[in-house]
Structure 1
């Protein structure tokens, strides 16, 4: 199958199409096919159905328009997350952290670590961790970071808006039906195996095509379970069952995920490869590297950016827009 990656350009003519109804225009499209060198064509040579998939404005996410980059702030209520485990287990600490993430368009609340090697948490314990915080923050736009249908259902009832499933509905057979019944939007992230084993020598024939194909299959499964495409978002799953080389390959061509016709989320914040490349062994020292990766993805039209360090990213996006928009 040929996958299409729009190539945005600041020099694109006024008649060039907008990418996903957003802030960029593209004048060329890269065609990616397994086993063949990429080919680049002018946008005008792309068949109308394919062009429509790349250009159609993406529906709002829980009322949030996606015509400009949006920030999802991470709020981990866990004892063992890779960069901030244990800091926000107490609801008072979690609420204080939420205040510090005031610039985020969405808060992503999670009660189970999915770092490499993490063990699964019983649904009852995960729910108990997050529910007081969800209830207290119900006036904000909340995403619930969980693989479990029971946790999602309880958190949505308590005031959550979105389900963010790192297993794309494959961990809990009841997840898709639960999301379909509640009417919530859902983020489908690509991963392999489980957090316990996902970094045990991950391999791909072609990481771009393999991840695209896997996400396309999960989209089809979600639709078959009754979740409309208009309520779905895709996430290529940086750091989940990927080596540094895999992560960089995905980031270089992350714009190809627009070819799925859905909003795209990037979750690269503070990941190990940023520390390895940027010389920052401590996760909390990776804000600058995270911002660099974020801006590179914004330049390919990625709509949602899941980050720990909300204020620096918000500042960087404000400057990026001031410099690039007239």
Structure 2
């Protein structure tokens, strides 16, 4: 039976001599939880880890788009769609969308994720030409800003990269368009592989898993192996467990609770939970625009487990919360 290892992430002092750094960052772990498919859990010392697992959990993650992965990075969400669940229809032109993007950067975003197709539950597929028409001029107008193109389609990704994007963020985890993985490999383009159970049209109909944490891990591991075999190095791969994409509230909470497991994939973790429906239900905020407090709470919970990138709508509020949270965590130490 296969073993999966989830580090129990710490950041407090004093740090034990036998502790291992988490992904080369300031957080550390001295123990792990071993998960098995029979549902059993066991607490083990990190010293008991197999060598390959120890290396993947502790090795530094290389910089991505010039951004260091040993500290949390904020990805601002810039949807240029008429129908996204939270910010659809916010802009009347590419110029307005670019202005909104630059405002996010001034508020503390480290990079922007630009998408022209809503992937909310029930959303319908957008034609390639229309998706390019929405995203390409905005990316060009934001020249010099670190940008990921949020798309499932090779032609849209190609147009976005030519316009100035530097990362492909595929919510289908490279399963929707069979040519997209090869395109990223051929051009050495970093890619974010996200897990989704089905497409937006049907993903929330009745999502089921044997063990959501381990099932999502296995999917991401398989997709990493696939694109590595094609020739893209692991230092250009980001993983996203896909909160809200084919998951119930219980699934989302299980993934968030066990998020540190995904460090075992040896890639930076992107967490995108901002304004999702479960935050509205648990936080009693039916309007997505009222979900900033809950979204920030989830983002900080993910960062506490070592997530390297948080994808958010509310950039300024998230940046402020992160600064204060880090200051309290560091407790006025000289290196704060």
Partner of 2:329: 324
Deviations along 1:128-159, one digit per CA (max 9) or x if unpaired, are 11111101112000010000000101110111
Deviation at 1:221, TM superposition (A): 1.4
Deviation at 1:89, TM superposition (A): 4.7
Partner of 1:2: 3
User: Which of these residues, 197, 217, 226, is aligned with residue 222 of structure 2?
Assistant: 217
Gap regions ≥5 residues in structure 1: none
Give the stretch that moved more between structures: 42-51 or 237-246: 42-51
Contact 2:268 2:308 in 1 (8 A): yes
- Count of equivalent residues: 326
Q: How high is the TM-score relative to the length of structure 2?
A: 0.95
Give the stretch that moved more between structures: 49-58 or 13-22: 13-22
Give the stretch that moved more between structures: 167-176 or 43-52: 43-52
Deviations along 1:5-61, one digit per CA (max 9) or x if unpaired, are 111222432541110001201111111111132111121222322111100001111
User: Which of these residues, 281, 291, 294, is aligned with residue 289 of structure 1?
Assistant: 294
Contact 1:77 1:89 in 2 (8 A): no
CA RMSD of aligned residues (A): 1.1
Deviation at 1:278, TM superposition (A): 0.5
User: Which of these residues, 54, 75, 78, is aligned with residue 78 of structure 2?
Assistant: 75
Contact 1:192 1:240 in 2 (8 A): yes
Once superposed, which parts of structure 1, at least 4 consecutive aligned residues long, lie more than 3 Å away? none
Give the stretch that moved more between structures: 177-186 or 92-101: 92-101
Contact 1:234 1:263 in 2 (8 A): yes
Deviation at 1:241, TM superposition (A): 0.2
Gap regions ≥5 residues in structure 2: none
Partner of 2:244: 239
Contact 1:165 1:186 in 2 (8 A): yes
Give the stretch that moved more between structures: 85-94 or 129-138: 85-94
1:43 aligns with 2:11: no
Partner of 2:21: 18
Give the stretch that moved more between structures: 239-248 or 19-28: 19-28
Deviations along 1:252-292, one digit per CA (max 9) or x if unpaired, are 01000001111100000000000100010000000000110
Q: How high is the TM-score relative to the length of structure 1?
A: 0.98
Q: CA–CA distance in 1 between the matches of 2:311 and 2:119?
A: 15
